[in-house]
Amino acid sequence: MTHPLDRYRGQDIPLMDGPRGARVAASTLKAITATFAVAPKMIEVAPKIWNLVGIGISSRMMIEAPEGLVIFDTGDDLEDGEKALAEFRKVSDKPIKAIIYSHNHYAHGTQAFLREAPDAIIIGHHDVNKYLTEIATGFASGGEFPEAMPALTARYERQFALHLPQSGADTGLGAIIPPGKAKGTALATHLVQDGQEMVVAGLRMQFFTKYFSDSEDSLTTWIPELDAVYNNFLWPSLFNFYTLRGDVFRDPTSWRNGLRVIRDIAPKYLVNTHALPVVGKDEVRQSLELYMDAISYMIDQTLRGINKGLSPDALKDFVRLPEALAAFPNNAEIYSEFFYFPLHLYHHVFGWFDGDAASVHRLPLAEEAARIVKGFGGAATVFQQYQEAMAAGDLVWASRLVGWLLATEPAKVGYRVAQAETLRQIAYRAPNTIARHFCLTQALELEEKIAPVRSVLPNLEAILAAEPGRYVNFFRIRLDPAKAGEQRLRLRVEITDKAQCHGLQVRNGICEYLAAPGAAEEGDLVLRVTHADWARFYLGQTSVRELLATQGAVTPQQATAVEPFLALFDTAAQACGA
């Protein structure tokens, strides 16, 4: 069995130009096209069942029911929904009676369908509207810490190639979400529970909500009369329990169990949110079991390795898919890489500590790198070894070598250019799109072809869609404790157009958010602004002084005290790493 890193250590990996000129390993492009549509296509899965693929990141299904059409998922954005509707209309002119969401990710082209079918019902998981509302108010992940949304959004943009060129060798591949697209989202009108049955447009359907894959509002739909299932569990690539962009914990046992539900239904037709459809009872069962078994193998062997006392690094070699499972096309590493997942499970069990006491106390990176470079014989020697590694195609080692040099001199152009080229070559050879997009984005940053992508704030509309208290609360994490020192101050933030009052209490180098600050106390500072005024200040569209100059924001007596209070906090630019 070859090592996963061999493709970056001198192994001959034939490259080719893929869609839009993307430079990519020929084997990667072949694997992608085996299970995922890279060009638009309408597939007639069976009589009355159509599967639209290759338009955007998601697949969509349309079925012809006795009373009209039922649409499954509407797309990434409004334009995506419009394109899908146009394609479906080439197949049928019957009225649209219902829309069903597999989960919240692809519910954003719905308004295109509602324009001609305003009375269509929308069916979703009982929690789908919660997630759709969160998306509308500026964050869709972060779990217990939604304040981290700006950093999560930045990683999201890296993963889905939003900062890569639209064409050429460095363009995105596979899972791409175009930037700046208007959403056409609509909330579900009918929320369903696990096992619930419902007649939709004259067809009996059963819904399953107990288990989830990459979103906790996953909905599987079983249509007995058509012997078909629509689902978000069988993907065109290896399951993605851990995503480099970050997210809440994705439970691999839930993903596996969701596949079991479908297997036990035993449908003849399996239509998927991303993967090409599977037809035939035997073919469906085999596909589901090969996918399920890869998940079970990862879980069980990771836990076996953990109980043997293996470190995260050792688990990467210990837990490797056997050939029988790795050869199944839907288990290909075209989106993520298998070794991510044992590490993810280990960290969920233990956290960051790898069990080696020597790793608890580590030197700062820059100091450690300086000592390593000195031990090699100096920067010139390290750079020479870097060049030799590059010439030999030993890309991972080359990246480590120049990474130490960069840690000692992060602004040195020669080192930045060298690391950029190393990451670019790794990206071209990567078997998967996620690592490719991260490597290429960082390469462009190092070359200063794009600005560093550290944090991305929500837009004004998203903040105004939320309750005012959310972003007053989030403001607290911008406090600079060095500026705050031992000061004890309290600011009442009165949102005048919403008749709400929120508080920010500074003490001991922290800021406590007060959802209900109560009656004014002696010494309180008071800021009176509209929701929009606060939102623009939060986003850095107005400065502290411009905010305070808003009519009625502060009394003349308090102006000189409120300004230095707000100056204790990072500006929007500083909060995003500027």
- Answer CATH for 365-446 from 3.30.420.40, 3.40.190.10, 1.25.40.880, 3.30.1300.30: 1.25.40.880
**Residue bearing tokens 């509302």:** 133
Structure tokens belonging to residue 47:
């009589």
**Residue 201 to residue 189: CA distance in whole angstroms:** 15
Residues contacting 63, CB < 8 A, separation 6+ = 48, 49, 50, 69, 70, 72, 203, 223, 226, 228
Rounded-to-integer distance, Cα 384 and Cα 434, Å? 30
Separate counts of helices (H) and strands (E) for the chain: 22, 19
- Tally of residues, the chain: 578
Q: Report how far residue 354's alpha carbon sits from residue 360's, in angstroms, rounded to the nearest whole number.
A: 9
Q: How far apart are CA 528 and CA 495, in angstroms?
A: 6
Of 253, 213, 432, 420, the residue nearest 339 (C-alpha): 432
Nearest to 206, CA basis, from 219, 193, 221, 216: 221
Q: How many CA atoms within 13 Å lie on the side-chain side of 149?
A: 21
What local confidence, expressed as pLDDT, does residue 142 receive?
Answer: 59
- The CA angle 298-300-302, to the nearest 5 degrees, is 65
The DSSP bridge pattern shows strands 60-65 and 41-46 to be unpaired
Place of tokens 């959802």: 515
463 vs 64, 317, 519, 532, 575, CA distance in Å?
Answer: 40, 45, 27, 8, 16
**Look-up: residue for tokens 């499970």?**
345
What type of residue is 284? V
pLDDT of residue 341: 95
Query: Residue 467 corresponds to which tokens in the numbers above?
Result: 């309750």
Q: Confirm if 404 and 145 have CB atoms less than 8 A apart.
A: no
- pLDDT recorded at residue 144: 83
pTM of the model: 0.93
pLDDT in tens, the chain (578 residues): 578 888 999 889 999 999 999 999 999 999 998 998 888 999 999 999 999 999 888 899 999 999 999 999 999 999 999 999 999 999 999 999 999 999 999 999 999 999 999 999 999 999 999 999 888 766 555 578 999 999 999 999 999 999 999 999 999 988 777 767 889 999 999 999 999 999 999 999 999 999 999 999 999 999 999 999 999 999 999 988 898 998 888 899 999 999 999 999 999 999 999 999 999 999 999 999 999 999 999 999 999 999 999 999 999 999 999 999 999 999 999 999 999 999 999 999 999 999 999 999 999 999 999 999 999 999 999 999 999 999 999 999 999 999 999 999 999 999 999 999 999 999 999 999 999 999 999 999 999 999 998 999 999 998 999 999 999 999 999 999 999 999 999 999 999 999 999 999 999 999 999 999 988 888 899 999 999 999 999 999 999 999 999 999 998 889 899 999 999 999 999 999 88
* Beta strands per DSSP E along 232-280: 269-272, 278-279
DSSP 181: P
Tell me, what's the pLDDT at 139? 56
Calpha distance 213→250 (Å, rounded): 7
DSSP state of 569: B
Contact 210, 194 (CB under 8 A): yes
Please state, in angstroms and rounded to a whole number, the distance separating the CA atoms of residues 33 and 538.
Answer: 44
Helix (H) or strand (E) segment spanning residue 72: strand 68-72
Instruction: Report the CATH fold assignment for 460-575.
Output: Nonspecific Lipid-transfer Protein; Chain A (3.30.1050)
- 451, two tokens: 């600005």
Closest of 437, 510, 447 to residue 160, by C-alpha? 437
Integer CA distances (angstroms), 204 to 12, 63, 95, 175, 224, in order = 54, 13, 18, 33, 7
Cα end-to-end span (Å), the chain: 46
Residues 34, 254: contact at Cβ < 8 Å? no
CA distance 125 to 521: 46
CATH of 36-346, one of 3.40.50.620, 3.90.180.10, 3.60.15.30, 3.90.1300.10: 3.60.15.30
Give the helix/strand (H/E) hosting 221. strand 220-223
Give how far Cα 240 sits from Cα of 34, 252, 389, Å.
18, 9, 32
- Domain ranges across the chain: 36-346, 365-446, 460-575
Exposure b/e, 46-67, CB count within 10 A at least 16 = b: bebbbbbbebbbbbbbbbbbee
